[in-house]
A = this chain, B = another copy of it.
Amino acid sequence: MDALDKKFMELGADSAPGQEVRQDNSALAALTRGENIDGVPVDFSHGDVDAFAPTPGALEAWQEGYDRGGQQAYTEYRGDADIRNDVAARIATFTGAPLTADQELIITPGTQGALFLALGSVVEVGTKVAVVEPDYFANRKLVRFFNGEVVPIPLTYGAASDNNGPDLNVLETAFKAGTRVMVFSTPNNPTGLIYSKSAIDQIAELASRYDVTVIVDQLYSRLLYEGETYCHLRASASCPENIITIMGPSKTESLSGFRLGVAFGSAKLIERMEKLQAIVSLRAAGYNQAALSTWFNEPDGWLANRIAQHQAIRDDLLKVFRDAGLETAAPQGGSYIFPKLPPLIHEPEVFTRLLRSQANVTVTPGAEFSPHTVNSIRLNFSQDHKAAVAAAHRIVEMVERYRA
């Protein structure tokens, strides 16, 4: 096996969310216990934009973009200037820190695109990158792809705490030892944990002191449950110079089919990201950019209603899993929940395949998020409420059936 074979084996996407349809499950029959469990299929690997429809007006905004013709089809690589102006102003308000549209913002093909460009702009051969565990599955893979080195930083979750966040002692030790970049998501994917103000301020302070670039993925920062508070790293008093914040309208707003994201922060890094975008995909699809006019610009009450609906699903799923004895942290934001499975007679990855083939429930194996969470499963519960709860009951039934 040559170096590229090895590299791409490590980038394995077989269990990545949405790719389950490509799995070869011919060997599963021999491992199956009992009959299939009927129920409406639920794909928890991503949100259901039929259950939670795209932002009102997004379709019309796209059509207006199409009607504008060439001007909207071909934009600057960093995105249309007028659209960036609007978005930058709204993001400055939302995050509580100023932002210049011309220099400090780029529109990308999805938040994934933003993450790729951000890491590609700061990670080279041998660059040490602090990666929180568990966290979004692509973080580790991206560092590996750019030939950087992952420095794992543990995140404790599930315990009620005013100091939610990564292990700051491990983080400082890593920074001292030459770690140049840190990447993390808050609300955390896959657990829904929100980093506390204290954790954010300390990360900011440490990054400033050790001159570390911080890439913070705030994809879910609008979807906060009752009683939760959120702290934007870029608004922290000690905010480091080299910071990129990433957001996008794919989740809470259900605009995933448009593949839109933004990154904002350091003008120097945004410029690098644009140069990289020039050779990666040129720009986010021109007409799609127009749909951003609806972002942070939704009808009154729309966001509060969307949050309330998700909170109701969260509460029901939490009850189902906890009643069944599955250790499950309460998500503070976002639409992920990350229950832990008890010991089973099969490997967790086989169990998730059985869940799909026998019970019509698709989840993402915990191994995608860190080597230490192989016994958990991640569910994106932005789904039809009733179907999601029924599917959670099927998960519990399957757990009982395959319990070791």
Taking a contact as CB atoms under 8 Å apart, the answer to whether B142 and A77 are in contact is no
Is residue A360 within 8 Å, beta carbon to beta carbon, of the partner chain?
Answer: no
Contacts of A141 in B (CB 8 A): 278-279
Taking a contact as CB atoms under 8 Å apart, the answer to whether A76 and B19 are in contact is yes
Kindly state the separation between the CA atoms of A112 and B246 in the bound complex, as whole angstroms.
23
Q: Closest Cβ of chain B: how far from A171's Cβ, in Å?
A: 22
For A, the interface residue count at a CB cutoff of 8 angstroms equals 65
The majority secondary structure among interface residues of chain A is: helix
Q: A257's closest neighbor in chain B, by CB?
A: B73
Counted per complex, copies of this chain come to 2
Among B145, B259, B271, B272, the residue within 8 A (CB) of A286 is B259
Among B70, B122, B281, the residue within 8 A (CB) of A49 is B70
Is residue A8 within 8 Å, beta carbon to beta carbon, of the partner chain?
Answer: yes
Given contacts A110-B282, A282-B110, contact A50 B76 (CB under 8 A): no
Contacts of A109 in B (CB 8 A): 109, 259, 281, 285
Taking a contact as CB atoms under 8 Å apart, the answer to whether B279 and A259 are in contact is no
Kindly state the separation between the CA atoms of A110 and B282 in the bound complex, as whole angstroms.
8
Among B11, B112, B276, B283, the residue within 8 A (CB) of A145 is B276
Q: Closest Cβ of chain B: how far from A83's Cβ, in Å?
A: 14
Give chain A interface residues in 53-90, CB to chain B under 8 Å: 59, 62, 65-66, 69-70, 72-77, 81
Taking a contact as CB atoms under 8 Å apart, the answer to whether A125 and B110 are in contact is no
Q: A287's closest neighbor in chain B, by CB?
A: B257
Contacts of A348 in B (CB 8 A): none
Contacts of A281 in B (CB 8 A): 108-110, 112-113, 116, 259, 280-281
Kindly state the separation between the CA atoms of A281 and B69 in the bound complex, as whole angstroms.
25
Among B16, B62, B280, B285, the residue within 8 A (CB) of A280 is B280
Taking a contact as CB atoms under 8 Å apart, the answer to whether A8 and B272 are in contact is yes
Q: List 10 A-B pairs, Cβ < 8 Å.
A: A8-B276, A13-B275, A50-B70, A109-B281, A125-B125, A141-B279, A256-B286, A257-B287, A259-B282, A281-B281
Interchain residue pairs A-B with the least CB separation, the first 4 = A73-B257, A259-B285, A257-B286, A11-B275
